[in-house]
Chain A
């Protein structure tokens, strides 16, 4: 019953592979990377995987013949999806129910391809697969564009911590490999992912059915310069356990098989060495590491003295203290928080919606505690971007929960430690959700009630965040990105206000976007500092709008001016309109009149709200909905990042937002009077700014540092 040695291959599948696969290098030298394939149902995930395996020569002997037979038995043409859809019900119904994994080898990598179901009802299986991935291929049907599961999967990838994403635009053959259609989807997907804080590593046009673009470039896509899918797989990196963060060693068990009392567990992050001072959390008991144990006895080499993130270890301590499963061995200098209450951004998978008052079990590391849901906010369906009702998260939706733990659990905010800041929710004895810890509160704080009291109770952890370093700030922005992406601009502002302690500054230049943001802020009781930079060269219409806006919204707008001595020196050096002479002279002017004042406007701020939109110019597409600005030690939010100009205009007109009359006269983007002109219909929005310069260089430096 051995499978046939020379199974017939379908002629159409015989693709020349010369040059595409090199001989396999020894295992140790090859990186292993896990890549999940996600996307909407029927956009071609299984076909792409089948095609990749075929082209990489990874299919076992006889498999194609088997698949052909299985397909024929069901009266179907050759069906790649049967390769991984191994279950009878999957094959009979033509759907992927559960996640699967299969290996292939690229020239540089061993790849574990993870197939994930595209149906909404099997989202738990998609999450099971995607949570194991280092990187993702997000598949989009060229004819259909982004659909419900495309958005939902993109959103969940972020919540699951998958940061490397390439977009594969499939079924290009059906559109005759039309470059315009491809570029439209490329722009759509790039903007959507930017909203989640993700930059696609590549957007690849392919036909998984014909193989074009999968392992080799198609002649029909000569206009495409990027990698093939196979080359992309080679470029993904394996995720590494974070050895550079503070030590977190969740205790799995204590073994007392002989005279030793061995504490067993795996390092989630950091390093541990013999002699290190540690704290056992949540009880904060101090000790030192006496030994690192191993079996078999490592003679003749000496016993291990140190271990690093990812390693399973056994250690003994220098003194008798009570340690049990669920405790976390932490670096003494920077222990985890013993949280009694916490807030988390979570996905929920159970049929029964998660509601305020609901009783669940919270699991962090190896610890668990019964917990009660106290608050639910910002619950949305990430596929439809529609909000849920108040105080409830429906199945397969996401939301922000505040929970109260019966026993304290040692944890970190996800922003500070992406591993120990993850929480899993169990309901009825089964895993039913999970997500990222946003903030924690210790047992010492008195129980708050109501939103204001709760916000105050979280101040302790928030203050700690004010000292975040660049990495932590970046992680926090990453954690916020998917949360904010699904919200409306108003909710984004409110959410940022909740997340950040300390000052948030909104900088306005009274453009359309700024006026909409001013309107949104004025509708909320939000303690946000509204600031404008008066360069001294603004249009008379802009000054008039400034006064009108203050009257209309009853808010004072703080003005920051250039330093008079710098300005006097500038004008003495290059004349009053010297900025026309050279780009350097123009930038010198921008620096004195805008950039330096901006630094003073943002002094002491933890958050910065601005009105950038992705479609405004090619350069700005690289910017994000929410991003860390490590130099300024703040988080920057562009709440209208994914809005189109049409959305903006519709909002202005529906809400009677006062706007600059210059817009009606053809001015799209309005800055200083001498440096702004009207644009012709069809010209890009920022074509009227510094029109004598090249498109890529048109930033004054406010929103692009060190350019």
Chain B
């Protein structure tokens, strides 16, 4: 087994555990490179058939290329797609900095979707190397009844044994690619031939490294026009992946506040 085989094997194990131990799970699809990898892994884990719905929590502010991608591959991959809308900005905590407040619409949309469908598990494509509070995540991460993340009291998790008994009303976030890096994602995307949104590839000296809402996501300077070039760029760069995601950087605790409240 090479490095990608090992990553894949561990992720497949996690996805099968989630499916076996939880009653009603959904896979969160942000349309980005990471959740596309998760979908690929899930199709492998379940021999081509995704046994749970795929949820896109839609802020309505994604790039047009993202919607085109969603509609095409939901069909091609035969996904059981649920598009869930987000409430307007006025419904969000006004003490949050502007971009974080905007991003937090997704948290509220997620809560509504949870209530509507009664999911007890959500599969999310976050990774430890993206951001420092995500680095402290568990693979099976319990969320309280309000969707809150209690970072002070995370349960122990070791030897591939996961805490999978959420109390009534609570749910689990399952993170099958927590141990992957940005480079791993691209190397696997290349190996498996997973389609990507073209915004990741450089045009006119710029490309998006991380995709979110169009109004709070910014491109980086880059000439990487192919996946090979992206991988080469990542070897050399020291700029963090989420530097173009405005809500991470507005204040020291902005992203932690988002995540504690239930953001991904």
Interface residues, chain A, CB within 8 Å of chain B? 1-3, 5, 24, 27-28, 32, 57, 59-63, 70, 73, 83-84, 86-89, 97-103, 124-125, 127-128, 131-132, 160, 252-253, 255, 257, 262, 264-266, 293-296, 308, 310-312, 314, 325, 349, 363, 366, 422, 424, 429-432, 434
The CA of A27 and the CA of B149, in the complex, are separated in Å by 34
**Inside 8 A of B246's CB, which chain A residues have their CB?**
1
Assess A128 versus B16: contact at CB under 8 Å? Given A24-B235, A312-B45: no
Q: A3-B249, A60-B240 are in contact. Are A124 and B136 (CB under 8 A)?
A: no
User: Which residues of the other chain, B, contact A87 by a CB distance below 8 angstroms?
Assistant: 133, 136, 151, 256
Q: In the complex, which of the residues A128, A255, A293, A311 contacts B156, with contact meaning CB atoms closer than 8 Å?
A: A128
**How far, in whole Å, are A29 and B146 apart by their CA atoms in the complex?**
46
In the complex, the answer to whether B158 meets A131 with C-beta atoms within 8 Å is yes
**Bound complex: CA of A60 vs CA of B242, how far in Å?**
11
Residue of B nearest to A86 (CB): B132
Kindly state the separation between the CA atoms of A125 and B153 in the bound complex, as whole angstroms: 9
Q: Do A429 and B165 touch across chains, with their CB atoms under 8 A apart?
A: yes
Nearest opposing residue in chain A for B99, CB measure: A1
Contacts of B183 in A (CB 8 A): 27
Q: How far is the CB of B78 from chain A (nearest CB, A)?
A: 12
Inter-subunit contact A100/B151 (CB<8 Å): no
The answer to whether B136 and A100 have CB atoms under 8 Å apart is yes
- The reply on B13 being an interface residue by CB < 8 A is yes
Is A431 within 8 A of B129, CB to CB? no
A-B CB pair tally, cutoff 8 Å: 156
Chain B residues with CB below 8 A from A97, complex form: 151-152
* Nearest-Cβ distance from residue B217 to partner chain A, whole angstroms: 10
Closest to A129 in B: B158
B3–A349 contact, CB under 8 A? no
Q: Which residues of A contact B253 (CB under 8 A)?
A: 88
Query: Is B6 on the interface with A (CB-CB < 8 A)?
Result: yes
Contact partner of A125 (CB less than 8 A), chosen from B9, B19, B49, B154, is: B154
Q: What residue of chain A has the Cβ atom nearest to residue B158's Cβ?
A: A131
Q: Which A residues lie within 8 Å of B128 (CB)?
A: 100-101
**B residues near A431, Cβ cutoff 8 Å:** 155-158, 161, 163
The closest CB in chain A to the CB of B181 belongs to: A103
Listed from nearest, the 9 A-B pairs whose CB atoms lie closest are A86-B132, A131-B158, A124-B156, A429-B165, A312-B12, A60-B240, A424-B161, A1-B246, A61-B238
Name the distance in Å between A556's Cβ and chain B's nearest Cβ.
48
CA distance A353 to B10 in the complex (A): 33
Determine which of A3, A88, A429 lies in contact with B240 in the assembled complex, contact meaning CB atoms within 8 Å: A3
Could you say which of B10, B12, B218 contacts A2, with CB atoms under 8 Å apart? B218
Additional A-B contact list (19), CB under 8 Å, known A295-B43, A430-B155: A3-B243, A3-B249, A27-B3, A57-B238, A87-B151, A88-B256, A127-B158, A128-B154, A128-B157, A253-B19, A255-B47, A257-B46, A257-B47, A311-B1, A312-B12, A312-B13, A430-B165, A431-B163, A434-B158
Cβ contact of B135, chosen from A89, A100, A124, A363, cutoff 8 A: A100
State in angstroms the CA–CA spacing of A89 and B257 once bound together.
12
**Structural contact, B17 and A252, CB atoms closer than 8 A:** yes
Known: A27-B187, A363-B161. A252 touches B138 (CB 8 A): no
Whole-angstrom CA separation of A633 from B160 in the bound complex: 33
